[in-house]
Amino acid sequence: MQALEENKKFFVFRLSLILFIANVIGALTYVRAVEPSWVIPEERAAGIHTVTGEPIVWAGAILPFIIGFGLLDAFWGVCLLILKKRRSSYFWLAAAVIWIIAIVIDFAHH
């Protein structure tokens, strides 16, 4: 019985690590996907402020990330709460920090 409990703990830990790595890859992909909507530094330096299609390009780029990773991370967090796995929840919190950093990088370029 104890071996089964140890296997369950290891499975949840390994799954949390895999989901964390997926979130890191997703955050990096997010930053690359929204790059076309960033302000061109030369235009900013020249005082040109164009906003013709950038919001639409940006919204279209982030929608799959919001839906996909939002649902995945919400489900992951609920599972960790139900299973009461505190050590594995550190990966979930670290993933949230990674996403916050990616969003800050994105908004710093608008």
Token look-up 């330096």 returns 45
Token look-up 């950038």 returns 54
Say which amino acid occupies 25. I
Contacts of 55 (CB under 8 A, 6+ apart): 37
- What confidence score (pLDDT) does residue 100 get? 96
d(CA 55, CA 38): 10
d(CA 31, CA 110): 12
Whether 92 has a pLDDT exceeding 90, the answer reads yes
> Could you tell me if 24 and 98 are in contact, meaning their C-beta atoms sit under 8 angstroms apart?
yes
Tens digits of residue pLDDT in 50-85: 666 678 878 888 999 999 999 999 999 998 888 887
Structure tokens at 67: 């839906």
Tens digits of residue pLDDT in 12-52: 889 999 999 999 999 999 999 988 887 777 777 787 776 66
